[in-house]
Structure 1
Amino acid sequence: MAPKTARARRLGIALRTHREAAGLTLEAAADEINSTRSTLSRYENAQTLVSPATVRALLSLYGVGPDEITAAVQLAKDTRKPGWWVPYSHLLDRRTIDFIALEAEATGIANFEPSVVPGLLQTADYIRGVMRGGPHTLSDDQVEQRVQLRLDRQQRISDDEPPIFDAIIDEGALLRPVGDRSVMEQQLQHLLKMSELPNVTVQVIPLSAGYHRGTRGSLHILEFADPEDPLIASVETVAGQMVLDRPGDLRTCTKIMEHLRTVALSPTDSRNLLLHMLKGR
């Protein structure tokens, strides 16, 4: 099963929208192309890659114009191109791979973390500490593979066309040692360095803010360049990453992220706090 990328989601939405506009049920459309209801449903929900030929057949059936068909066929071809994360697929569960595939196409990333530094801002030694303290017992080789995977994910932040990245960190995550003293010092220095990038904003929620709406767990919200691509939210549970795309869930997650931005220190005050913490070590 292929990762549910933003392009695959966009194609699925287009197939469903055109089918409904044509007044056809899944069963009727499937019969016309000698397929099944469940197969078409998987196409529309981006659970299975759809071939360019099938896209052309479906959109022709739905009475879509030639220009739109050409664009959709190209999109189908693009969704079949392997992403950079493919070599790491054996390391992670399906939901996490789905999230990484979506993150790779996002133009805006907002991430709140209550317990650890956001993954896209972690140093290699900090990642090692996180992996060794995780829920699974990993060999040294497995740890290093996961370190490299996370470092590869981070490359987008400093690309020529990087996403906007808003990181919100609970102060408790910065006070909790991961690795030895030098690891934490290097991590704080790295946060300060990354906060200087024009596309990166770092905010810290001070302990003095007390209990807040993000205390229960981490939260990601992804935005995409194409206006037809809806927001995606993700929360991390003990069972792994959970991607949320239902409108009600997205409204809740968006409100929570906005609340966290308001209770966090400003970027300038957050930077000053990081400097103070670094000097105090």
Structure 2
Amino acid sequence: MSTVQPGRATDGAGGASGSVVRRILLGSHLRRLREARGVTREAAGYSIRASESKISRMELGRVSFKARDVEDLLTLYGVTDESERDALLSLVREANAAGWWHSYGDVLPGWFQTYVGLEGAACLIRGYEVQFVPGLLQTEDYVHAVVVRGQPDASRGEVDRRVALRVERQKLLIAERAPDFHLVLDEAALHRPYGDAEVMRGQLRHLIEFSERPNVRLQIMPFGFGGHAGESGAFTILRFPESDLPDVVYLEQLTSALYLDKAEDVAQYDRVMRRLQEDGLSPSGSRDLLSSTLQTF
């Protein structure tokens, strides 16, 4: 079994953002070790005084890790090489590191914390959006309008916290090691007003500005094309620099989210994304449409 190389990942705010990725990598590696040794999840759980379901959650990277538990599991799986043990225990420390977003736990649901961690560790983010401009490209005024529309009963303090969280996420795209961001945005999002005309003008100007950044590829799917491959709705595909980690498809729901990483599922969304990029306006054509739409507000 090869030795794991932990490495580091940084987010747009300049701190460690790879804790979610590290948990997934560590869990996946522990699963491979267990299976290679022929140990059942039940037996693994018994060895660390835990349930079979706890082992399952650990292997999926959905819980934090205790160094003692990992040490006991490595012993059970016959891992005696000190360099391999040290590398995996180093992953434990990184996997348990709190991300910057944890300080927004009062307004950030647990299911979305996972996404923020994955987003911050990705090297390529591709997505399709139809309802509104996605969070990474929203102006502060547009964010405020979206939050107020979606949370009409929220206090002013809560609204301000939600806006601050989204603005903090946006630092990702202008960081020194910013990911590539490829977005296909349905034309409907350009005409659906959030806030007044000045807010929309500012948002459209912001899209034009960011579409010229070297790491951003923004395409508009125009009304004139008619029906297209994005019929199932908005989605995001995340790719990571770690070769051990598969692409992840993120599907947001009202009170939860789905994270798909099975090869056949990801492949279907990848095909849809490629068709959307082929059928949408080119980046330059999209800027032209943004400029003409700007004149309507």
TM class, shorter-length: over 0.9
What RMSD over aligned residues (CA atoms) do the two structures have, in Å? Answer: 1.8
Q: Which residue of 2 aligns with 1:60?
A: 75
Aligned residues: 279
116-125 vs 207-216, greater mean Cα deviation: 207-216
Farther-moved stretch of structure 1 (248-257 vs 16-25): 248-257
- The equivalent residue for 1:83 is 99
Give the corresponding residue for 2:136: 120
Contact 1:167–1:201 (CA under 8 A) maintained in structure 2: yes
Cα distance in 2, alignment partners of residues 33 and 103 from structure 1: 32
Q: Which SS does the other structure have where 1:5 is aligned?
A: helix
The alignment status of 1:250 with 2:269, answered yes or no, reads no
Whether the aligned pair in 2 keeps the contact of 1:95 and 1:242 (CA below 8 Å) is: no
Among 7, 10, 15, the alignment partner of 2:30 is 15
Is 1:174 the counterpart of 2:190 in the alignment?
yes
Are the counterparts in 2 of residues 4 and 46 from structure 1 also a CA contact under 8 Å?
no
Q: Which residue of 2 aligns with 1:142?
A: 158
**Structure 1 gaps, min length 5:** none
1:43 corresponds to which residue?
58
Q: CA deviation at 1:135?
A: 5.5
Q: 2:114 is matched by which residue type in structure 1?
A: D
Match of 2:295 in 1: 279
Task: For residue 280 of structure 1, report the CA deviation from its aligned partner.
Answer: 4.1
Partner AA of 1:39 in structure 2: K
Distance 2:67 2:292 in 1: 56
Pick one of 79, 97, 113 that aligns with 2:113.
Answer: 97
Q: Does 1:71 align with 2:118?
A: no
The TM-score normalised by the length of structure 1 is: 0.93
Distance 2:194 2:50 in 1: 53
- Cα distance between partner residues in 1 of 2:261 and 2:154: 32
Matched position secondary structure for 1:142: helix
Which residue is 2:285 aligned to?
269
Which residue matches 2:213? 197
Deviates more, 1:224-233 or 1:135-144: 135-144
Question: AA paired with 2:181?
Answer: F
Q: Normalising to structure 2: TM-score of the pair?
A: 0.88
Structure 2, unpaired ranges of 5+: 1-17
Instruction: Give the distance between the partners of 1:234 and 1:136, measured in 2 at CA.
Output: 26
Q: Distance in 2 between matches of 1:226 and 1:267?
A: 29
Provide the rounded CA distance (Å) in 2 between the counterparts of 1:4 and 1:160. 19
